[in-house]
Structure 1
Amino acid sequence: MINFELPEKLLNLQKMSHQVAAGVFRPISRKYDRIEHGPTPEELKPLAQMRAAMREGGDKSKVAAEAASGSRNGANLSGIVAGEELCWGDVGLLLSIPGSGLGNAAILAVGTPEQKEKFGKLYCAMAITEPGAGSDSAAISTTAVLDGDEWVLNGEKIFCTAGERGDAIVVWATLDKSKGKAAIKSFIVPQGAPGLSLVRVEEKMGLRISDTAALSLNNCRIPKENILGSPEVADTEAARKKAFGGVMQTFDSTRPAVAAMALGLARAALEITRELLEKEGVKADYSKTLYNSTAIEAELYRMEADLEAARLMTYKAAWMADNGQANSKEASMCKAKAGRMGNAVTLKCVELCGELGYSENLLLEKFSRDSKIIDIFEGTQQIQQLIVARHLLGLSSRELK
């Protein structure tokens, strides 16, 4: 029998995260949206330890008991539950908490115990996108060459979240461009490494407090042990596919986390919209069928259903990751569904609330601006649909482009 209820430990985490969102994020949301560029907000620094605790997956004795029962709710589902609540407050502020970088997820997914110990508690960004390589990660041209006991990296990275503030950056680079995606590896580049430079910090439509940087690597040198995974380049098709799959495994954890951002954002917009409409005498009456409801009531019902569908898909993808099940298809499905849902719901809420929705008196217009990037980063809507299609049809990336 399927049980969709959250266990007690996650309910406690959910409650604690909501308190942070309501007490810390919401009151300063508009302030930091207007400031945009700047150092890490002081209000967020005490939250770094709480964020680290979320990544641990909660009480280890309970985790062990769940594992023994054949069902584990670990770091992935914990992160989803907490992330939704925190993004109910502000997505950009969540991404600005020290220790919450996407590079942390990469290290957690494929790092050695030594790397997790050394870098796991730092604020780690992740640099994948290049001017000539966006959604197609296999087209990366940044190079990494082993020179004695050091890797030498050369290339340019753009749209790197936390690229300015992060303590370290997980950089994707190729060992041999002629060998395609099998030669792509991840490297941990500490901030301040020789040859690493900040080119600019982007000005953006949404998530304005979260820094998005362009970086240059010019003969950037890092220690030999800073490579994530094996430095060997596979020499057979099956081995190459497995090698690149290991690099891409990071997305199986981060895509549900991005979906959770859309869940929190959409729920926040819906709650504000319902509250405003109730003041005008429009209140949801669930005893009536959809087609016996007013047009506005029907819109609310549809948005609530869309939100709940995205939430269940996201929970499933995170639960599968916690229980060692292959979830690439489910990770892409939930990211595609939630990304599209978050954008549609926030824009519809602005529309339903008229001039109040469009003005800066409320946060609805900010939610709509923030929501757009969720449908784009960590793989666009179109890329997610392509990945799902490949899984359903049993085709490779070469066979279905």
Structure 2
Amino acid sequence: MINLEVPKKFRPLVNQARQVAENVFRPVSRKYDANEHAYPVELDMLAAIMDGMNDAVAETGVGEGAGAGKLKQDAKKSDGIQNGTNMSTVLGLQELCWGDVGLSLTLPRQGLGNAAIAAVANDEQLARFGHKWAAMAITEPGFGSDSAAVRTTAVKDGDHYVLNGEKIFVTSGERADAVVVWASVDRTLGRAAIKSFVVEKGTPGMDVVRLEKKLGIKASDTAAIVFSDCRVPAANLLGSPEVNVEKGFAGVMQTFDNTRPVVAAMAVGVAKAAIDRARDILQKMGVAADYQGSFKNASQIEAQLYRYEADWEAARLLTLKAAWMADNGLPNSKEASMAKAKAGRAANAITLGCVELLGSLGYGEDELLEKWARDSKILDIFEGTQQIQQLIVARRLLNKTSAELK
């Protein structure tokens, strides 16, 4: 049974994340929105503090901390109800993104690539890469959400794989210490041959060719990376090197079951920020939400705010459920996609809606509301678009394969 209260052991973590969001992120939010690609130096000290927090939490058996992407689904269900790494991650990240989504993505050693490493790396790989900042490189010029369409190749050559291809929209691709790259070891075998490789920064043949200019999350660098005869040690392949045609690439896709609740948590955080700010501004204007009175007597503005709050709560609960299932060793592919779809859509609707509710007050750069509206859009796109999430949920509900339901 899921208890809807924040577990007592995570409350200090949640409070610390809220303090970071309010006192570190928000004061510099506009600064780095206006200076895209400038590195937020204020985060260096914070990253060191978070490393210490993560290490301390791990020693107590709670998990790996609240960093974005530090997530690992248990291999089997443990005795009793567990609240571990997955739950601490989404709870902490909701609070950080209440402050700023782009800065949350920019925290060193908290990247989405870290989620892939934590999910499938063996002990030796965890020892080598566990404390590195890892980005994730999946998307290519020829495809977006269809991860099975990977064209980057990885050809075995002795104790190495040789990678060739181009990846785009790599979050933290320039700043990270390593990039987790999806590539095919045999294009003739289709999606079953897709594997992920950890490519460390500075590896010959790996070149960041440009940084993208974006609508939102401007504090986060988004890179295009070209791999030209890039030699990567075979020991850097995550998961089994064997190609199992029957299993397909379900193993590598499991990473998404871990990262989609992370993105959902980000959406929940920024949506809550917009609701809180809109409520505060409206109250100063004499429009106060009266939760004790009858809803049928509410003004149109009050009623809309209530709808946004209900939408936000639904997204939050779906996100917590997906994380809870992962902590308890339960398959959560459907729930992870449900959380991502709901939270991404809700964040877009809520942030834009709060701008509309406040008119010129919400649209100007004097308020962070317009920035949150821009930042929220990416949360409905990366890690699989809204349409892809709905397709995955439909496949799970109807028990259809990707070939049967496209």
**Residue pairs, 1:28-107, within 5 angstroms:** 28-39=28-39, 41-52=40-51, 58=57, 60-61=59-60, 63=62, 70-107=80-117
* Distance change >3 Å, CA 59–CA 221, structure 1 → 2: closer
The one of 363, 367, 376 aligned to 1:362: 367
Is 2:33–2:217's contact at 8 Å kept on the other side of the alignment? yes
Letter matched to residue 32 of structure 1? Y
Is the CA contact 1:29–1:90 (under 8 Å) kept in the aligned structure 2?
yes
* Identical counterparts, % of pairs: 61
RMSD: 1.6
2:127 pairs, out of 109, 117, 122, with 117
Aligned to 2:273: 268
- Equivalence for 2:227: 217
Distance in 1 between residues matched to 2:147 and 2:176, nearest whole Å: 22
1:318 aligns with 2:317: no
Q: Distance in 2 between matches of 1:186 and 1:262?
A: 26
Q: TM-score, normalised by structure 1?
A: 0.95
**Conservation of the 8 A alpha-carbon contact between 1:193 and 1:220:** yes
1:2-401 correspondence runs (5 A): 2-39=2-39, 41-52=40-51, 58=57, 60-61=59-60, 63=62, 70-235=80-245, 237=246, 240-241=247-248, 244-401=249-406
Residue type of the alignment partner of 1:153: L
Give deviations 1:179-222, integer Å, cap 9, x for gaps.
11110000000011010001100000000110010010000011
Q: After TM superposition, give the deviation of residue 38 of structure 1 in Å.
A: 2.2
Shift of the alpha carbon at 1:12? 1.1
Contact kept in structure 2, 1:57 and 1:78, CA below 8 Å:
no
- What is the letter of the counterpart of residue 104 of structure 1? N
| 1:138-175 CA-partner distances (Å, limit 9, x unpaired) | 11010001111111000010010011101000000001
Q: What is the distance in 1 between the residues matched to 2:10 and 2:209?
A: 41
Q: Which amino acid aligns with 2:271?
A: A
Aligned equivalents of 2:54 and 2:194: distance in 1?
A: 26
Contact 1:266 1:307 in 2 (8 A): yes
Q: Which amino acid aligns with 1:284?
A: A
Cα distance in 2, alignment partners of residues 268 and 234 from structure 1: 45
CA shift at 1:100, angstroms? 1.1
Amino acid at match of 1:133: F
**Aligned-partner Cα distance in 1 for 2:327–2:53:** 13
Paired residues of 2:2 and 2:321 also in contact (CA < 8 A): no
Does the CA-based 8 Å contact 2:168-2:224 persist in structure 1?
yes
Question: 2:78 touches 2:329 (CA, 8 Å); kept in 1?
Answer: no
The CA distance in 1 between the partners of 2:295 and 2:389, in whole Å, is 31
CA deviations 1:255-313 (Å, max 9, x no partner) are 00101111110111111111110111111111223322110000010000111111011
1:328-357 Cα offsets, whole Å, 9 max, x none, are 000000000000000000001001111110
The code of the aligned residue for 1:259 comes to A
Inter-partner Cα distance in structure 2 for 1:29 and 1:281:
28
The residue identity in structure 2 corresponding to 1:73 is N
| Letter matched to residue 161 of structure 1 | T
Whole-angstrom CA distance in 1 between matches of 2:130 and 2:58: 19
**How far apart, in 2, do the equivalents of 1:57 and 1:315 lie?**
23
